[in-house]
Amino acid sequence: MKLEHKYLNIDGCINNTGDEQYLNEKVPISLGYSDTVFKQELKVFKKQFVSNLEKRKAISYLRYSDGEAFFLKGEPVGSAAPGNRCMSKQYNQINLDFFNSGVLLNDYITVELLPSRREGFSSVFPNQKIHYPFEYIYGLCFNRWFYELFSKKDCKVALLGAQEKLIIIENLMKHKEYKDYTKLNVSDYIYCPMKFAVDNAEKNLESFGKQIKKINPDVLLVAIGQLKLGILSRLKEFSDALILDIGHPMDGLAGLVDHQRPYASGWLNFKIKDFEYPKNTGTYNSGLDLCAWDPIKINKILS
Protein backbone atom coordinates (compact mmCIF):
# COMPACT_ATOMS: atom_id res chain seq x y z
CA MET A 1 0.00 0.00 0.00
CA LYS A 2 1.35 3.39 -0.95
CA LEU A 3 1.43 5.85 1.92
CA GLU A 4 1.03 9.59 1.67
CA HIS A 5 3.84 11.29 3.54
CA LYS A 6 3.25 14.89 4.45
CA TYR A 7 6.22 15.37 6.74
CA LEU A 8 10.03 15.26 6.57
CA ASN A 9 10.13 15.04 2.78
CA ILE A 10 13.42 15.52 0.95
CA ASP A 11 13.44 16.69 -2.65
CA GLY A 12 14.29 14.00 -5.18
CA CYS A 13 13.15 11.13 -2.94
CA ILE A 14 10.02 9.00 -2.78
CA ASN A 15 9.32 7.82 0.74
CA ASN A 16 6.93 4.90 1.18
CA THR A 17 7.97 3.68 4.61
CA GLY A 18 5.45 3.23 7.39
CA ASP A 19 7.60 4.78 10.13
CA GLU A 20 5.50 7.07 12.27
CA GLN A 21 7.65 10.22 12.08
CA TYR A 22 6.69 10.60 8.40
CA LEU A 23 2.96 10.14 9.00
CA ASN A 24 2.31 11.93 12.28
CA GLU A 25 3.63 15.47 12.61
CA LYS A 26 3.46 15.29 16.41
CA VAL A 27 6.33 12.76 16.49
CA PRO A 28 9.10 14.97 15.02
CA ILE A 29 7.61 18.07 16.67
CA SER A 30 8.00 16.36 20.06
CA LEU A 31 11.74 16.26 19.29
CA GLY A 32 11.91 19.90 18.21
CA TYR A 33 11.54 19.27 14.48
CA SER A 34 8.55 20.78 12.79
CA ASP A 35 8.53 20.24 9.04
CA THR A 36 9.83 23.79 8.61
CA VAL A 37 12.71 23.25 11.04
CA PHE A 38 13.57 19.94 9.33
CA LYS A 39 13.90 21.64 5.95
CA GLN A 40 15.80 24.64 7.33
CA GLU A 41 18.30 22.44 9.13
CA LEU A 42 18.73 20.31 6.02
CA LYS A 43 20.00 23.42 4.23
CA VAL A 44 22.43 24.01 7.11
CA PHE A 45 23.59 20.39 6.97
CA LYS A 46 24.24 20.55 3.23
CA LYS A 47 26.14 23.84 3.45
CA GLN A 48 28.28 22.55 6.30
CA PHE A 49 28.89 19.25 4.51
CA VAL A 50 30.16 21.04 1.39
CA SER A 51 32.43 23.17 3.55
CA ASN A 52 33.82 20.10 5.32
CA LEU A 53 34.40 18.34 2.02
CA GLU A 54 36.33 21.29 0.64
CA LYS A 55 38.59 21.40 3.69
CA ARG A 56 40.05 18.01 2.73
CA LYS A 57 40.30 17.29 6.44
CA ALA A 58 39.48 14.02 8.22
CA ILE A 59 35.88 14.29 9.43
CA SER A 60 33.45 11.48 10.29
CA TYR A 61 29.65 11.26 10.19
CA LEU A 62 28.04 8.44 12.19
CA ARG A 63 24.49 7.07 11.91
CA TYR A 64 23.08 5.66 15.16
CA SER A 65 19.90 3.59 15.42
CA ASP A 66 18.33 0.85 17.53
CA GLY A 67 20.82 -1.86 16.54
CA GLU A 68 23.69 0.29 17.78
CA ALA A 69 21.91 0.96 21.09
CA PHE A 70 21.24 -2.75 21.64
CA PHE A 71 24.87 -3.58 20.93
CA LEU A 72 26.40 -0.94 23.20
CA LYS A 73 24.10 -1.94 26.05
CA GLY A 74 24.99 -5.59 25.55
CA GLU A 75 21.42 -6.57 24.70
CA PRO A 76 21.25 -9.61 22.36
CA VAL A 77 18.55 -8.35 20.00
CA GLY A 78 18.44 -8.72 16.21
CA SER A 79 21.78 -8.21 14.50
CA ALA A 80 23.30 -7.44 17.93
CA ALA A 81 22.67 -10.99 19.14
CA PRO A 82 25.78 -13.21 19.22
CA GLY A 83 25.81 -15.58 16.26
CA ASN A 84 23.46 -13.52 14.11
CA ARG A 85 25.44 -11.04 12.06
CA CYS A 86 27.82 -8.67 13.79
CA MET A 87 29.64 -11.13 16.05
CA SER A 88 30.01 -14.78 16.97
CA LYS A 89 31.48 -14.01 20.41
CA GLN A 90 29.49 -13.45 23.58
CA TYR A 91 29.31 -9.98 25.06
CA ASN A 92 31.66 -10.87 27.90
CA GLN A 93 34.30 -11.53 25.22
CA ILE A 94 33.85 -8.13 23.57
CA ASN A 95 35.55 -4.92 24.73
CA LEU A 96 32.52 -2.61 24.63
CA ASP A 97 34.63 0.28 25.94
CA PHE A 98 36.44 0.31 22.58
CA PHE A 99 33.10 0.82 20.82
CA ASN A 100 31.65 3.32 23.29
CA SER A 101 34.74 5.51 23.15
CA GLY A 102 34.79 5.25 19.36
CA VAL A 103 31.33 6.78 19.10
CA LEU A 104 32.40 9.88 20.99
CA LEU A 105 35.36 10.48 18.67
CA ASN A 106 33.07 11.16 15.70
CA ASP A 107 32.63 14.74 14.52
CA TYR A 108 28.93 14.39 13.71
CA ILE A 109 26.39 11.98 15.17
CA THR A 110 23.02 11.49 13.48
CA VAL A 111 19.97 9.76 14.99
CA GLU A 112 16.48 9.17 13.59
CA LEU A 113 13.61 11.46 14.54
CA LEU A 114 11.85 8.84 16.62
CA PRO A 115 11.57 9.14 20.41
CA SER A 116 12.65 5.51 20.88
CA ARG A 117 15.80 6.03 18.78
CA ARG A 118 16.73 9.28 20.53
CA GLU A 119 16.10 7.71 23.93
CA GLY A 120 18.21 4.72 22.86
CA PHE A 121 21.09 7.06 22.18
CA SER A 122 20.72 9.19 25.32
CA SER A 123 20.45 6.06 27.49
CA VAL A 124 24.04 5.23 26.50
CA PHE A 125 25.37 8.78 26.00
CA PRO A 126 23.27 11.05 28.26
CA ASN A 127 25.47 14.11 27.81
CA GLN A 128 26.34 13.76 24.13
CA LYS A 129 24.92 16.09 21.49
CA ILE A 130 23.02 14.73 18.51
CA HIS A 131 24.07 16.91 15.61
CA TYR A 132 21.55 16.10 12.89
CA PRO A 133 18.69 13.77 11.98
CA PHE A 134 19.74 10.41 10.58
CA GLU A 135 17.16 10.99 7.81
CA TYR A 136 19.41 13.51 6.05
CA ILE A 137 22.01 10.88 5.20
CA TYR A 138 19.48 8.44 3.74
CA GLY A 139 17.72 11.16 1.77
CA LEU A 140 20.87 12.70 0.30
CA CYS A 141 22.12 9.27 -0.76
CA PHE A 142 18.88 8.18 -2.38
CA ASN A 143 18.40 11.47 -4.24
CA ARG A 144 22.10 11.21 -5.22
CA TRP A 145 22.94 14.69 -3.91
CA PHE A 146 26.05 13.33 -2.15
CA TYR A 147 27.20 11.38 -5.19
CA GLU A 148 26.76 14.26 -7.61
CA LEU A 149 28.62 16.55 -5.21
CA PHE A 150 31.58 14.17 -5.03
CA SER A 151 31.75 14.03 -8.82
CA LYS A 152 31.51 17.80 -9.20
CA LYS A 153 34.31 18.27 -6.69
CA ASP A 154 36.39 15.62 -8.50
CA CYS A 155 36.70 13.59 -5.30
CA LYS A 156 38.48 10.27 -5.14
CA VAL A 157 35.80 8.04 -3.58
CA ALA A 158 36.42 4.69 -1.89
CA LEU A 159 33.86 2.24 -0.53
CA LEU A 160 34.27 0.21 2.66
CA GLY A 161 31.69 -2.53 3.04
CA ALA A 162 30.82 -6.20 2.75
CA GLN A 163 32.91 -7.90 0.09
CA GLU A 164 29.92 -9.58 -1.55
CA LYS A 165 28.16 -6.27 -2.12
CA LEU A 166 31.25 -4.35 -3.21
CA ILE A 167 32.01 -6.97 -5.88
CA ILE A 168 28.52 -6.35 -7.29
CA ILE A 169 29.02 -2.57 -7.22
CA GLU A 170 32.43 -2.86 -8.87
CA ASN A 171 30.87 -4.76 -11.76
CA LEU A 172 27.91 -2.40 -12.01
CA MET A 173 30.37 0.48 -12.26
CA LYS A 174 31.56 -0.93 -15.59
CA HIS A 175 28.21 0.09 -17.12
CA LYS A 176 27.75 3.68 -18.29
CA GLU A 177 23.97 3.63 -17.71
CA TYR A 178 24.50 2.73 -14.06
CA LYS A 179 27.22 5.34 -13.55
CA ASP A 180 25.08 7.99 -15.22
CA TYR A 181 22.20 7.12 -12.91
CA THR A 182 24.13 7.01 -9.64
CA LYS A 183 26.29 10.04 -10.56
CA LEU A 184 29.06 8.36 -8.61
CA ASN A 185 32.63 7.47 -9.55
CA VAL A 186 34.36 4.95 -7.29
CA SER A 187 38.13 4.51 -7.38
CA ASP A 188 38.73 1.87 -4.71
CA TYR A 189 37.00 -0.90 -2.74
CA ILE A 190 37.92 -2.05 0.76
CA TYR A 191 36.36 -5.36 1.75
CA CYS A 192 34.92 -6.04 5.19
CA PRO A 193 33.79 -9.49 6.35
CA MET A 194 30.05 -9.97 5.83
CA LYS A 195 29.58 -11.58 9.23
CA PHE A 196 31.22 -11.39 12.64
CA ALA A 197 33.42 -8.38 11.81
CA VAL A 198 33.10 -7.20 15.43
CA ASP A 199 34.99 -10.30 16.64
CA ASN A 200 38.26 -8.84 15.36
CA ALA A 201 37.49 -5.14 15.48
CA GLU A 202 41.02 -3.86 16.16
CA LYS A 203 42.59 -6.17 13.56
CA ASN A 204 40.02 -5.00 11.02
CA LEU A 205 40.83 -1.39 11.90
CA GLU A 206 44.51 -2.03 11.27
CA SER A 207 43.81 -3.78 7.96
CA PHE A 208 41.43 -1.11 6.70
CA GLY A 209 43.77 1.62 7.88
CA LYS A 210 46.69 0.27 5.85
CA GLN A 211 44.54 0.19 2.72
CA ILE A 212 43.13 3.67 3.31
CA LYS A 213 46.61 5.07 3.87
CA LYS A 214 47.76 3.52 0.60
CA ILE A 215 44.90 4.75 -1.59
CA ASN A 216 44.44 8.10 0.20
CA PRO A 217 40.80 8.82 -0.80
CA ASP A 218 39.03 12.16 -0.48
CA VAL A 219 35.79 10.44 0.57
CA LEU A 220 35.17 7.10 2.24
CA LEU A 221 31.61 5.72 2.14
CA VAL A 222 31.07 3.09 4.82
CA ALA A 223 28.56 0.31 5.54
CA ILE A 224 29.98 -2.12 8.12
CA GLY A 225 27.23 -2.62 10.71
CA GLN A 226 28.03 -2.28 14.41
CA LEU A 227 31.76 -2.50 13.69
CA LYS A 228 31.55 1.17 12.78
CA LEU A 229 30.96 2.12 16.42
CA GLY A 230 34.50 1.20 17.30
CA ILE A 231 36.41 2.06 14.15
CA LEU A 232 34.61 4.74 12.06
CA SER A 233 36.10 7.66 13.97
CA ARG A 234 39.48 5.96 14.29
CA LEU A 235 39.80 5.62 10.51
CA LYS A 236 40.55 9.36 10.55
CA GLU A 237 44.03 8.47 11.78
CA PHE A 238 44.97 7.07 8.36
CA SER A 239 44.01 9.84 5.90
CA ASP A 240 42.31 13.19 5.48
CA ALA A 241 39.21 11.60 3.96
CA LEU A 242 35.70 12.71 4.81
CA ILE A 243 34.16 9.51 6.22
CA LEU A 244 30.42 9.05 5.75
CA ASP A 245 28.54 6.14 7.33
CA ILE A 246 25.76 5.45 4.80
CA GLY A 247 24.46 1.97 5.71
CA HIS A 248 21.54 0.76 3.56
CA PRO A 249 22.28 3.08 0.60
CA MET A 250 25.30 0.80 -0.01
CA ASP A 251 22.70 -1.90 -0.76
CA GLY A 252 21.19 0.58 -3.18
CA LEU A 253 24.48 0.93 -5.01
CA ALA A 254 24.53 -2.87 -5.28
CA GLY A 255 21.00 -2.93 -6.69
CA LEU A 256 19.62 -4.48 -3.50
CA VAL A 257 17.66 -1.62 -2.02
CA ASP A 258 14.59 -2.31 0.09
CA HIS A 259 12.06 0.15 -1.29
CA GLN A 260 10.28 0.28 2.06
CA ARG A 261 13.30 1.90 3.70
CA PRO A 262 13.05 5.66 4.32
CA TYR A 263 13.47 7.75 1.16
CA ALA A 264 14.31 4.66 -0.92
CA SER A 265 11.06 4.08 -2.84
CA GLY A 266 12.24 5.96 -5.92
CA TRP A 267 15.64 4.30 -6.17
CA LEU A 268 16.32 2.14 -9.25
CA ASN A 269 17.81 -1.28 -8.59
CA PHE A 270 20.16 -2.37 -11.37
CA LYS A 271 20.93 -6.02 -12.08
CA ILE A 272 23.55 -7.34 -14.52
CA LYS A 273 22.26 -9.97 -16.90
CA ASP A 274 24.09 -13.30 -16.70
CA PHE A 275 26.32 -12.08 -13.85
CA GLU A 276 27.06 -14.71 -11.21
CA TYR A 277 25.71 -13.09 -8.06
CA PRO A 278 26.78 -14.25 -4.61
CA LYS A 279 24.00 -16.12 -2.87
CA ASN A 280 24.35 -14.38 0.47
CA THR A 281 24.66 -10.65 0.93
CA GLY A 282 23.24 -10.42 4.44
CA THR A 283 20.31 -8.44 3.10
CA TYR A 284 16.97 -9.19 4.79
CA ASN A 285 18.24 -12.49 6.16
CA SER A 286 21.35 -14.58 6.04
CA GLY A 287 19.86 -17.00 3.54
CA LEU A 288 18.82 -14.60 0.78
CA ASP A 289 19.43 -16.11 -2.65
CA LEU A 290 20.27 -13.24 -4.96
CA CYS A 291 19.72 -15.42 -8.01
CA ALA A 292 16.03 -15.57 -7.07
CA TRP A 293 15.87 -11.82 -6.37
CA ASP A 294 13.09 -12.08 -3.89
CA PRO A 295 11.89 -9.82 -2.30
CA ILE A 296 14.14 -7.26 -4.07
CA LYS A 297 12.45 -5.32 -6.85
CA ILE A 298 14.53 -5.10 -10.04
CA ASN A 299 14.11 -1.91 -12.03
CA LYS A 300 16.84 -2.13 -14.69
CA ILE A 301 18.57 -5.07 -16.35
CA LEU A 302 22.04 -4.39 -17.80
CA SER A 303 23.42 -6.58 -20.57
- Ordered per-residue pLDDT tens for the chain, 303 residues: 455 567 899 999 999 888 888 888 899 999 999 999 999 999 999 999 999 999 999 999 999 999 999 999 999 999 899 998 899 999 999 999 999 999 999 999 999 999 999 999 999 999 999 999 999 999 999 999 999 999 999 999 999 999 999 999 999 999 999 999 999 999 999 999 989 999 999 999 999 999 999 999 999 999 999 999 999 999 999 999 999 999 999 999 999 988 889 999 999 999 998 888 877 655 433 334 444 444 456 788 898
Residue 161 is classified by DSSP as E
- Please give the full DSSP string across 10-70, using - where no structure is assigned: -TT-B-----GGGT-THHHHHTT--HHHHHHHHHHHHHHHHHHHHHT--EEEEEE-HHHHH
Q: What is the pLDDT of residue 276?
A: 86
Q: What is the pLDDT of residue 288?
A: 40
Q: Using CA atoms, how far apart are residues 76 and 82, in angstroms rounded to an integer?
A: 7
